Amino acid sequence: MSPIRVTVWNEGVHETRDASVQKLYPEGIHGAVAAGIKENLGDDVEVRTATLADPEHGLTQEVIDSTDVLTWWGHAAHGEVSDEVVERVHKAVLGGMGLIVMHSAHFSKIFIKLMGTTCTLDWRSEHDRELIWTVAPGHPIAQGIPHPLIIPEDEMYGELFDVPQPDELIFISSFSGGEVFRSGATWRRGRGRVFYFRPGDQEYPTYHQKEIRQVLANGVRWAAPTDAERVLPTVSRRPTGWYETGEQLSSTDPRLAQS
């Protein structure tokens, strides 16, 4: 079996301007996420990274065409992401590429476009303890994850999370302030699988925690498309008037390819 081709995308803004984030993530958030995926999946993956500052944000058509799963972290520069790149990623997801959206990337252009809602939520950054409760223990993303998964300190996200009803709800978080949040959920969009995972504010060392890395690695394996799934979506049209005559057309009739 061929390795899963993973592109880890991070806007990379906080690491270049905030000393506290530089200290936590000297290789960038993308470096920590990529290392966690690689340490859990080993030779089953090929991992590369890309950031906002790269040409075309590192997400050229060539890169997207050779990516099975894209992970996305953003926070301070959602508006700086090119609409052309967002459209490119959106088309790829509909065509079968997996997408893992992390933490504040709930406000990314690509996630909002895929969800079709505001994706707003409640939040508070006061070093809250987070308990992540597994509510779908049989799901592949939950395999090997403790119940609950304890994050000593992280930013709080609370309901209401304005997203469509998930296809699968895997994790629910509770916080020291009493709030709850749907912190791990999946959707299908076209042929693609989308996984949103809540933890990971830039001011906390969350992506160094082994259990968080395991969830992301599980997510990569789950989101990876089969060969049959990774096909660009197409729209076929019947030739005008065919239904009026009752004419029976062969599947190879060239008129079926008319636009």
pLDDT digits (tens, 9 = 90+) for 97-112: 999 999 999 999 999 9
Q: Could you tell me which of 226, 233, 210, 207 has the C-alpha nearest to residue 49? A: 207
In this prediction, residues 228-248 reach a mean pLDDT of 51
Structure tokens at 133: 């409760």
% of the chain with per-residue pLDDT over 90: 83
Q: b vs e for 49-61, b when ≥16 Cβ sit within 10 Å of the residue's Cβ?
A: bbbbeeeebbbee
Strand blocks (E) in 117-191: 122-134, 149-158, 168-175, 180-189
What's the CATH number for 4-117+181-257?
A: 3.40.50.880
User: Bigger pLDDT: 90 or 238?
Assistant: 90
CA distances to 149, 175, 218, 239 from 124, in Å: 20, 10, 28, 56
pLDDT category of residue 252 using cuts at 50, 70 and 90: low
How much is the pLDDT for 242?
Answer: 45
| Residue keyed to tokens 């030779």 | 43
> Does 232 score more than 70 pLDDT?
no
Residue 174 backbone phi and psi in degrees, to 5: -125, 150
Cα 176 to Cα 101: distance, rounded to the nearest angstrom: 24
Structure tokens at 134: 């597994």
> Does 231 score more than 90 pLDDT?
no
In this prediction, residues 62-81 reach a mean pLDDT of 96
Starting from the edge strand earliest in sequence, which strands make up the sheet with 4-10, in order? 45-51, 4-10, 69-73, 98-102, 192-197, 180-189, 168-175, 122-134, 149-158
Structural domain spans, the chain: 4-117+181-257
> Does 207 score more than 60 pLDDT?
yes
Q: Is 221:41 a contact under the CB 8 Å cutoff?
A: yes
Q: Which pTM value belongs to this model? A: 0.87
How much is the pLDDT for 236?
Answer: 42
% of the chain with per-residue pLDDT over 70: 87
In this prediction, residues 181-199 reach a mean pLDDT of 97
User: Bigger pLDDT: 246 or 158?
Assistant: 158
Q: Could you tell me which of 152, 125, 118, 137 has the C-alpha nearest to residue 184? A: 137
Q: Roughly how many angstroms between the first and final C-alpha of the chain, as a whole number?
A: 38
How much is the pLDDT for 1?
Answer: 74
Return the ∠ at Cα 35 (arms to 30 and 40), rounded to 5°: 130
> Does 255 score more than 70 pLDDT?
no
Q: Is 180:189 a contact under the CB 8 Å cutoff?
A: no
Structure tokens at 60: 């050229």
How much is the pLDDT for 131?
Answer: 97
How much is the pLDDT for 23?
Answer: 94
> Does 145 score more than 90 pLDDT?
yes
pLDDT category of residue 247 using cuts at 50, 70 and 90: low
Average pLDDT over the chain, rounded to whole? Answer: 90
> Does 240 score more than 60 pLDDT?
no
pLDDT category of residue 126 using cuts at 50, 70 and 90: confident
The SS3 assignment for 85 reads helix
Structure tokens at 248: 């029976």
How much is the pLDDT for 259?
Answer: 39
Q: How many residues does the chain have?
A: 259
Cα 81 to Cα 69: distance, rounded to the nearest angstrom: 19
